[in-house]
């Protein structure tokens, strides 16, 4: 069995190759400066979520980092492959959210590719005060409900609604429904 790669020195090499300070990489990745320092010194093993944030901030592929092959300077166009796009799925398989926004935007503005199975519902507890969702239906059959009102959407329509109250997106159609959702936190 091969030895596990030493991630810390690889992260440090990639950070320095991009002329980034610990503070700047912390700001870009959402990982604290102290945690970055511990990782680079090999005193802490990063979780997958931390590695994801770091690779996105450094604009490198996670597989390349682990293989020790990432040394490309940042590209003017950041591309995230389908395989590396994080997903959240309901345990029953009724819905799937593909996280399209960069980790550094979490808690400010987030955007998702939404897919809901026929008859499926994506129910959400209230988000922080002032939060709004903007849901653009790519297919017909989506129905948005909040305690303040409800609306069925046709393909191409956008619903904008408060998300600081309980809310739900349901697929009332007979085929999978798709939408783009943008969440804006106040």
Q: List domains and CATH numbers for the chain.
A: 7-67 (1.10.260.40), 85-184 (2.60.120.10)
Query: What does R_g of the chain's alpha carbons equal in angstroms?
Result: 20
pLDDT of residue 65: 72
Query: Distance between terminal CA atoms of the chain?
Result: 49
pLDDT of residue 64: 72
**Which residue's entry shows tokens 């697929």?**
171
| Token pair in block for residue 125 | 């507890």
Strands 149-153, 121-124: parallel, antiparallel or unpaired by DSSP?
unpaired
Chain center to CA of 115: 15
Q: Which of 133, 57, 121, 123 is nearest to 94 (CA)?
A: 121
pLDDT of residue 114: 98
Core vs surface per residue 69-86: b (16+ CB within 10 A) or e: ebeeeeeeeeeeeeeeee
pLDDT of residue 1: 47
pLDDT of residue 45: 80
| Token pair in block for residue 124 | 């959400």
- As a whole number of angstroms, the distance between CA 95 and CA 141 comes to 14
Tens place of pLDDT per residue across the chain (186 aa): 445 567 888 888 888 888 888 888 988 888 999 999 998 888 888 888 888 888 888 888 877 776 665 555 556 777 777 877 888 999 999 999 999 988 778 788 999 999 999 999 999 999 999 999 999 999 999 999 999 999 999 999 999 999 999 999 999 999 999 999 999 998
Core vs surface per residue 25-46: b (16+ CB within 10 A) or e: bbebbbbeeebbeebbeeebeb
């Amino acid at each position: 069995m091969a030895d596990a790669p030493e991630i810390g020195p690889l992260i440090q090499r990639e950070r320095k190759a991009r002329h980034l300070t610990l503070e700047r990489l912390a700001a870009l990745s959402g990982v604290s400066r102290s945690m970055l320092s511990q990782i680079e010194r090999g005193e802490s093993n990063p979780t997958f979520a931390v590695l994801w944030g770091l690779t996105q901030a450094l604009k490198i592929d996670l597989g390349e980092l682990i293989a020790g092959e990432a040394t490309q300077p940042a590209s003017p166009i950041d591309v995230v492959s389908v395989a590396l796009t994080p997903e959240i799925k309901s345990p029953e398989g009724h819905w799937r959210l593909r996280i399209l926004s960069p980790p550094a935007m979490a808690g400010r503005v987030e955007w998702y590719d939404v897919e809901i199975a026929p008859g499926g519902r994506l129910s959400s507890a209230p988000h922080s005060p002032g939060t709004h969702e903007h849901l653009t239906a790519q297919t017909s059959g989506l129905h948005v409900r909040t305690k303040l009102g409800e609306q069925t959407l046709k393909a191409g329509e956008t619903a904008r609604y408060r998300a600081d109250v309980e809310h739900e997106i349901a697929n009332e159609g007979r085929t999978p429904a798709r939408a783009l959702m943008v969440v804006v936190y106040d």
